[in-house]
Amino acid sequence: MSIFGTVTVKNGKYRPRGDFHHITPNVPIRDEDQAWRLVGVTNPRDMTYIHTYGGEAVFFENLAKGKIHGTRCDNPDCEFKGTVYLPFRIHCPDCLARNTVVDLTDVCKKTAKIHTFMVCERSGAFNTLEKPIKFINVEFEGVSTILMSYLSMGEPKIGMRVVPIFRTLDPTYTITDLSWVPEGTPAEALPKGFTFG
């Protein structure tokens, strides 16, 4: 049982359960240079944010199963019918029709290449990735967009072939469940919790 609030959906309605607010004691703020005179108090606060994935839920659900889903515009009236998108786009940006969900796992395994990359020695708040973070933009054959992700092993190079790995053990159902390693990396070398799917 989580100490934080949890949510399920029943009959199409959100059902929050548990504590979404926690009382945390105040702590005095004192002035070190003025005989520890009271200046104020800190008011610790935390919050549980309910983040709905909507039409993208299928993408996150399938990452945990070692599958990468993108979308394709199949609208016969669209000038750009047949365009394939990864990252997952619910709607076609050209005709605004609802896209078809397509399984791109094989395309990712066989054709992924580093388009460009950046290595970050520092990170923002709540970062859970190991530093330095090797952010990579990944391109795929037949896909019109590039995907932002991170390389878990090796040093990134432009044009380098990479293959996807998935946090299939204790998935977080967030984008960090998907990462990449150089082609030819042996399964036993993968980071803890990750598999080839």
The residues that touch Zn ion, with contacts defined as CB under 5 A, are 73, 75, 78, 92, 94-95
Which of 85/140 has CB closer to Zn ion? 85
Which of 81/109 has CB closer to Zn ion? 81
- Minimum distance of Zn ion from residue 81's CB (angstroms): 6
Which of 67/89 has CB closer to Zn ion? 89
- Could you write out the DSSP letters of every residue in 163-193? EEEEE-SS--SSGGGEEEEETT--GGGSPTT
Spell 85-124 as b/e; 16+ CB within 10 A means b: bbebbeebeebeeebebbebbebbbeebbbeebeeeeeee
Which of 61/74 has CB closer to Zn ion? 74
Which of 76/124 has CB closer to Zn ion? 76
How far apart CA 67 and CA 164 sit, in angstroms, is 9
Which of 144/168 has CB closer to Zn ion? 144
- Residue whose C-alpha is closest to residue 61's, from 103, 94, 119: 103
Place of tokens 């949890």: 6
- Minimum distance of Zn ion from residue 80's CB (angstroms): 5
- The two tokens of residue 46 are 């935390």
Contact between 158 and 114 (Cβ < 8 Å): yes
- Minimum distance of Zn ion from residue 101's CB (angstroms): 15
- Minimum distance of Zn ion from residue 90's CB (angstroms): 12
Residue type for position 22: H
- Minimum distance of Zn ion from residue 60's CB (angstroms): 24
- Minimum distance of Zn ion from residue 71's CB (angstroms): 10
Can you give the length of the chain in residues? 197
Q: Residue 40: CB partners within 8 Å, gap ≥ 6?
A: 28, 29
